[in-house]
Every structure is written in C-alpha cells, then in structure tokens.
Amino acid sequence: MDYFAYKNKKLYCEDVNLQEIVEECGTPTYVYSKKTLERHVDVYKNAFKSHKNLICFSVKSLSNISILELINKKGCGFDVVSGGELKRALHAGADPKKIIFSGVGKSHDEILMGIKYEILSFNIESESEIKRIEEIASSENKVANVAIRFNPEVDSGGHEYIKTGRKGDKFGISSEESVLKIAKYIYKSNHLKLVGLACHIGSQILDLQSYKLTAKNIKDLSFKIKDLGNELDFLDLGGGLGIPYEQDDTPSPQDLISIIEEELKDMEERIILEPGRSISGNAGILLTKVEYIKDNFLIVDAAMNDLLRPALYKAKHDVWSLKEDDSNSKAWIIAGPVCESSDIIAKDIHTNAGEGDTLAIKTAGAYGFVMSSNYNSRMRSAEVLVDGKEFNIVRTRETFEDLIKNEIDLND
Ligand code: LLP
C-alpha cells in the first residue's frame, strides 16, 4: 500500500499535489513518500509474533541520506555492500552493531572500515575472503564478527539477472563441505567470531515456497555448524520479497514472516531480514514531462539514465498522468530522449496526457535513482521527500558544473 492517489482528479503524494512539486523542482524528479516508507517498516516489524528480529534495510535499493535517517529513526539496521554504503549508513546515524556488510568483492579498505567500526557482521562469501578479514582483524588486534553466506540451492523466479541463490551463482558459498570447513576455521581463529548464517535467494520473489525451503535449509545447516562449536546470534534470510509493479497480487511481509517464523519456530537465534524493494519500491515515483508526441510515442524528459530497469531487465512500470485519465484514452509508448533504441520506459500506457503534461512513473523508489547515470551527459534528477502537506528537496538536480567537476582540462 502507498500514499500516491488521485484527489479531485489530481495526483497527490500524501497531502501534496504533485503538480506543485513539478512547478517548484522541474522534471525529471524522484518523489518519495515518508508515510509509505514508515508504514512499510512498521509492517515488517509488527509482523513478527515470536522471534527476536532485526530488519536491515538494503541500502542499495534507495540510499539518499535523508531516507536512511528516517529508516534509522524507525529502529532498523542496514545491509550494505560497499564502503560508500557503509559511510552513508553511518552518516545517517546508524548503530554499527546493526550493520551487515554483504558482497562478493569486499576490498581491503572496506573490510578495515567495518572492523574499526565493529559492525554486526561481514557476511562472507569465500574462503579467500575469510582469510583476508582474519589478517586485517589481526593487524588491528580486533575480533571481526562474521556470518557465512551459503547458497540454499533455491531457484526463486524473477529476472535471470537478479537470481542469486542457486549453486553456480557468483554469490554465496555453494558447497556444504566448504561452509563447514570455513566454520571450523573460524572457530579456531583468535580474530574471527562466527555470529550467524546467511543467505539471499534473489529479488522480486513472488513465490513464498522459496523462502520456506530456504528457512528449512538454513535451519538444517545451522545444526551442523553448531555441532562444531558455539551458538549463533542470528539466521539471516536476506531480502528479495516481490512487490506489485502492475497490480500483481503479491505476498505481503506478514505472509513472508509467518512462513519463516513457522519454519524456524524452535530456533533461538534472532531472525534477520534485508528487505530493500518491499520497503522503498512503491514509496517512490519518477515525475517526467511529455516533450513531444510523435506517432504512437510520448517522448518524455526522463530516460534510461534516470530509470534503467525497463531497458536492463524489461521491467514493467505503470505510468499515471498527474491529471486523472478517462477510460477512452489512447495507448502510448513512453520513450526517453537517450540515443538508444532500448530507451523505452513503458508500453501500452493509456493516457490523455499531451505535450507539456506530466506523468508519474510508478513504483520507482527501489533501484531507480540509485542506478541512474550521466549517460548522454544528462544531469541526474532531483529527489524530493514528501511529509504530509510538506515537501523538501533531499537532493538537488545536478548542474553542468557537477557533471564535469572531476574532469581535468589539460588546456587549463
Ligand atoms: N540482501 C542482499 C545480499 C542483496 O543482494 C539484495 C539485493 C538485497 C538484500 C535486497 O533485495 P530486495 O529486497 O530489494 O529484493 N537492480 C535490481 C535488483 C538487484 C537486487 C540486488 N540485491 C532491480 O532493479 O530489480
């Protein structure tokens, strides 16, 4: 559920008429709803009936600092995958004891930063990585907390590019033998502490049976690991819950958590989840103006550099006009100005919008702005956060100076 809706035929975000944002900030502009973000966090937190838990918001899905601050205030932790994301989370006031660091390619400096801040866990993905973390912890005379990320061999649906939990995928550790060998290694080390077991099976998952199977696999493996040494602090089932992009009937966080709690009912460990899209996805839209009408195309001022998902994954986003459309409206292809044939934002969109009107590309909060680029030397868009009747710019539109600021002109 989100707080984007028509009132008197005008599209609102909470109590703000989106046309006001267009007039003040221009387009393309990302707009996020604070109430929607907070509601989604509450739904996750309130869904747990019996287990101790921690919701670690996946920073990669939406990483604006003002948004991380409000998620931090709701008591969430964070799932980060780079030094930049770790710094963002800390900048937003996160408690390092609630930060999970995932990713297959953590660099020396990223590991050092995590060790210095004593984060909750490095979710490790290879034997080489565990040795590197141990070496750095030893040189700092510290003990690093680690969890082993394994592949539960679950094929969870979704686009090929966002599946992650199968044997042979680049993420996680596929062989059980390897997981147990790493656990033994950690137990013997003076600079490593095994705190958890983790997995993440993919993204935009609509079939909850995948999670049931994953929970069972993580439970079975945790017994084998505990037989070798200490208790664990947590079992981390990652993120991945799907959301409705086109009025799909999608499972809710409550459905997900009740399946997980049922499967893990006798387990003492905390349950950690790392949701991204299911918190941020439908909390954001991208406003874009129709520049030209040509044949059956509406050429708009947002492009694949602003929202890459349709070009990269053939992802479908619904598009609404700021003025409510009648049912007889014609079907259009919404295309961006970038010089690539794949710069198509959506197809078969029924709208009466004409040149100069503004459209809202829906469900763009997750993997929207964060995946934007300067391709075609386009300035990245502004970001706005709505809070009730008010709205604030939380990132200004880039300028030409921003675009070239790291370039060195050899003629100067
Ligand atoms: N945890 C880990 C270790 C992850 O790799 C991811 C996402 C998440 C949590 C959060 O997953 P979510 O709840 O958001 O599905 N750019 C793609 C999605 C890539 C997801 C990468 N990993 C898209 O636009 O669909």
Q: What residues contact 65, with CB distance under 8 A and at least 6 apart?
A: 88, 91, 92, 394
Ligand 1 atom 8: the closest Cα is on which residue?
Answer: 239
Is the Cβ atom of 277 under 6 angstroms away from ligand 1? Answer: yes
Does 339 qualify as catalytic in the annotation?
Answer: yes
Residue 386, Cβ neighbours under 10 Å: how many?
Answer: 24
- 225, with CB counted inside 10 A (0-12, 13-18, 19+), is buried
Nearest to 201 by CA among 190, 211, 191: 211
DSSP class of 105? T
Closest CA to 207 of 249, 172, 247: 249
pLDDT tens-digit profile, the chain (412 residues): 899 999 999 999 999 999 999 999 999 999 999 999 999 999 999 999 999 999 999 999 999 999 999 999 999 999 999 999 999 999 999 999 999 999 999 999 999 999 999 999 999 999 999 999 999 999 999 999 999 999 988 866 565 665 665 566 788 898 999 999 999 999 999 999 999 999 999 999 999 999 999 999 999 999 999 999 888 999 999 999 999 998 778 999 999 999 999 999 999 999 999 999 999 999 999 999 999 999 999 999 999 999 999 999 999 999 999 999 877 889 999 999 999 999 999 999 999 999 999 999 999 999 999 999 999 999 999 999 999 999 999 999 999 999 999 999 999 8
Whole-model pTM over 0.85: yes
Name the helix (H) or strand (E) containing 80.
Answer: strand 77-80
The SS3 of residue 56 is strand
How far is 184 from 169, CA to CA, in rounded Å? Answer: 24
Distance CA 193, CA 179 (A): 15
Contacts of 139 (CB under 8 A, 6+ apart): none
- Does the beta carbon of 276 lie inside 6 Å of ligand 1? yes
Residue 284 CA, ligand 1 centroid: distance in Å: 16
Q: Which domains does the chain have, with CATH numbers?
A: 4-32+281-404 (2.40.37.10), 103-273 (3.20.20.10)
Distance from the Cα of residue 369 to its chain's centroid: 11
- Distance, in Å, from the CA atom of 337 to the CA atom of 329, rounded to the nearest integer, reads 23
CA distance 157 to 163: 7
Is the minimum distance from the CB of 238 to ligand 1 under 6 angstroms? Answer: yes
